[in-house]
Amino acid sequence: MPASGPAFPVLGDTMEDAAQQADVKLGQPDFIQFKDVTKKFGDFTAVQNVSLDIREGEIFCLLGGSGSGKSTLLRMLAGFETITDGRIILDGEDVAGVPPERLPLNMMFQSYALFPHMSVERNVGYGLRRDGVPKAEIATRVAETLELVKLTDFAKRKPSQLSGGQRQRVALARCIVKKPKVLLLDEPLGALDKKLREETQQELLNIQRTLGLTFIIVTHDQEEAMTMADRIGVMNLGQIVQVGPPRELYEQPNSLFIADFVGALNRFDGVVTSQVGENAQVRVQNGMTLKILSPYEFNEGERVKVTARPEKLSVFPADSNEAPTARNALQGQVTFVGYMGDQTDYRVMLDGGVEVKITEQNHHMSTKIAIRTGDKVRVDWPARSTALYSA
């Protein structure tokens, strides 16, 4: 019995999809290798025994809470921090001891770090001038890149005369004009508002595809990681907790931490009352019993955490004559309805005295449009898509 094994049952196609997604990308699978990397600041361990391979041409997201060591990991790769222990190999070469100016990668800083005393054009051309690229070539490459990021009209401006989104694009242009093999982005969209973020995410993806770069993106926004990444590495307390394609992280989290961190979650304490094969019965708080399918065997009487994603549950009016869609059909009363446009969030107090969050997409509202706060409802809770973790 694993301490906390992956317990989300696989919905047939998930694994294949994940495998396919990974196969679309060509290029060295071990383009960037972190080998047992540790970073200490004095007594404090900021990054602990991280081992990670990043494939050439992929978009890899480092996801984690504040202070989890994401930036530190990135900064070691970029040559800004010394590595306390372990090795980082970039395209076959150890980065230890190589000064940042000689590494074939570029970094986009969270603060953008645009040079305030230079125009947009000079900012973008800075790296090329350092490399001794001929003047004429610099001019054309800068112009091309500014066009790519749609900043041609702003070439003569100073950074202080630009909006946040424009500065972000200058910072991006300044990196990609050098045609690095790898682009490191430390919270590239942190300073942008939601709409601009989403647009820019698309732009970044387009540019990444056009230029065939390897992206390593640091973020603490799990939605951003999910939309952009080919693979996500989740960090906590300086360690990588799980690495995988977004779907795998969401559907098969290897721990309660991941399940909770990636996406919303209903979670309860329970006790396993019986298990025959995959069929387990779990008594949750206040005596309610759930039928759950779990590939892992639990002992009778073992304490577990029960988790289910809000969108896996569905809600029906109590008097609905639609047949139950799941093995658990529980009665309850609606305590909250939040209409979000594309979806509706419900909170339902089950008769057992447990409150659950439910998210319904708004494309089949016909029977549900009438559900209001205070209504009696039936909650269909599938035996699959519920996970058990030993407590």
Partner 1 sequence: MPRFLKISLWIGMAFLYVPIFVLIIYSFNSSRRGSVWGGFSTHWYGELFRDEKILQAAWISLKIGVYSATGATVLGVLASVVLVRFGAFKGRRLFSSLVSAPLVMPEVITGISLLLLFISAEQFLGWPAQRGILTITIAHITFCTAFVIVVVQPRLADMDSSLEEASRDLGAGPATTFCLVTLPIIAPALMSAWLLAFILSFDDLVIASFTSGPGATTLPMLIFSKIKIAVSPDVNALATLIILTVGIALTLVMLGLRKGRKQ
Ligand X SMILES: Nc1ncnc2c1ncn2[C@@H]1O[C@H](COP(=O)(O)OP(=O)(O)OP(=O)(O)O)[C@@H](O)[C@H]1O
Residues that bind ligand X (CB under 6 A): 41, 44, 46, 64, 66-72, 220
Choice between 107 and 249, CB closer to partner 1:
107
Min dist CB 228 to ligand X, Å, is: 17
Q: Which does 67 bind (CB under 5 to 8 A by kind): Mg ion, ligand X, partner 1, none?
A: ligand X
Min dist CB 173 to partner 1, Å, is: 12
The answer to whether 284 and 355 are in contact (CB under 8 A) is no
Choice between 168 and 254, CB closer to partner 1:
168
Min dist CB 236 to Mg ion, Å, is: 14
Q: Which does 99 bind (CB under 5 to 8 A by kind): ligand X, partner 1, Mg ion, none?
A: partner 1
List Cβ neighbours of 58 (8 Å cut-off, separation of 6 or more): 25, 27, 214, 215, 230, 231
Minimal CB distance residue for ligand X? 71
Kindly write out the interface string for residues 151-180 of this chain, putting x where it contacts partner 1 by CB under 8 A and - elsewhere: -----------------------x---x--
Q: How far apart are CA 320 and CA 378, in angstroms?
A: 8
What is the token pair recorded at 222? 């799990």
Choice between 44 and 319, CB closer to ligand X:
44
Q: How far apart are CA 216 and CA 54, in angstroms?
A: 9
Please, what is the Cα angle at 318 between 316 and 321, to 5 degrees? 75
- Token pair 């999809």 is at which residue? 17
Coil/strand/helix, residue 160? helix
Q: Which does 117 bind (CB under 5 to 8 A by kind): Mg ion, partner 1, ligand X, none?
A: partner 1
Choice between 68 and 201, CB closer to ligand X:
68
Q: Which does 246 bind (CB under 5 to 8 A by kind): ligand X, partner 1, Mg ion, none?
A: none
Helix (H) or strand (E) holding 215: strand 214-219
The residue within the footprint of partner 1, chosen from 19, 30, 130, 365 (CB under 8 A), is: 130
Kindly write out the interface string for residues 91-120 of this chain, putting x where it contacts partner 1 by CB under 8 A and - elsewhere: --------xxx----xx-xxx-xxxxx---
Burial category of 61 from C-beta neighbours within 10 Å (exposed 0-12, middle 13-18, buried 19 and up) = buried
- Token pair 């973790």 is at which residue? 389
The residue within the footprint of partner 1, chosen from 18, 78, 83, 348 (CB under 8 A), is: 78
Q: How far apart are CA 274 and CA 80, in angstroms?
A: 55
The answer to whether 307 and 357 are in contact (CB under 8 A) is no
Q: How far apart are CA 190 and CA 197, in angstroms?
A: 8
Q: How far apart are CA 249 and CA 246, in angstroms?
A: 5
Min dist CB 73 to ligand X, Å, is: 7
Kindly write out the interface string for residues 260-299 of this chain, putting x where it contacts partner 1 by CB under 8 A and - elsewhere: ----------------------------------------
User: If phi over 0 gives left and psi between -120 and 50 gives alpha, with beta otherwise, what is residue 31?
Assistant: alpha
Binding-residue total with partner 1 (CB under 8 A): 22
Min dist CB 61 to partner 1, Å, is: 20
Half-sphere exposure of 193 toward its Cβ, with a 13 Å CA cutoff? 2
Min dist CB 169 to partner 1, Å, is: 15
The alpha carbon of residue 140 and the mean position of all alpha carbons in its chain are separated, in whole angstroms, by: 37
Q: Which does 257 bind (CB under 5 to 8 A by kind): ligand X, partner 1, Mg ion, none?
A: none
Q: Which does 127 bind (CB under 5 to 8 A by kind): ligand X, Mg ion, partner 1, none?
A: partner 1
Nearest to 343 by CA among 364, 322, 324, 326: 364
The residue within the footprint of Mg ion, chosen from 68, 71, 236, 386 (CB under 5 A), is: 71
- Token pair 């996406």 is at which residue? 263
Choice between 41 and 339, CB closer to partner 1:
41
Backbone torsions φ then ψ of 151, nearest 5 degrees: -125, 15
80 binds partner 1 per the rule CB under 8 A: yes
Choice between 7 and 218, CB closer to Mg ion:
218
List interacting residues with partner 1 (CB under 8 A). Answer: 78-80, 99-101, 106-107, 109-111, 113-117, 126-127, 130-131, 174, 178
Residues that bind Mg ion (CB under 5 A): 71
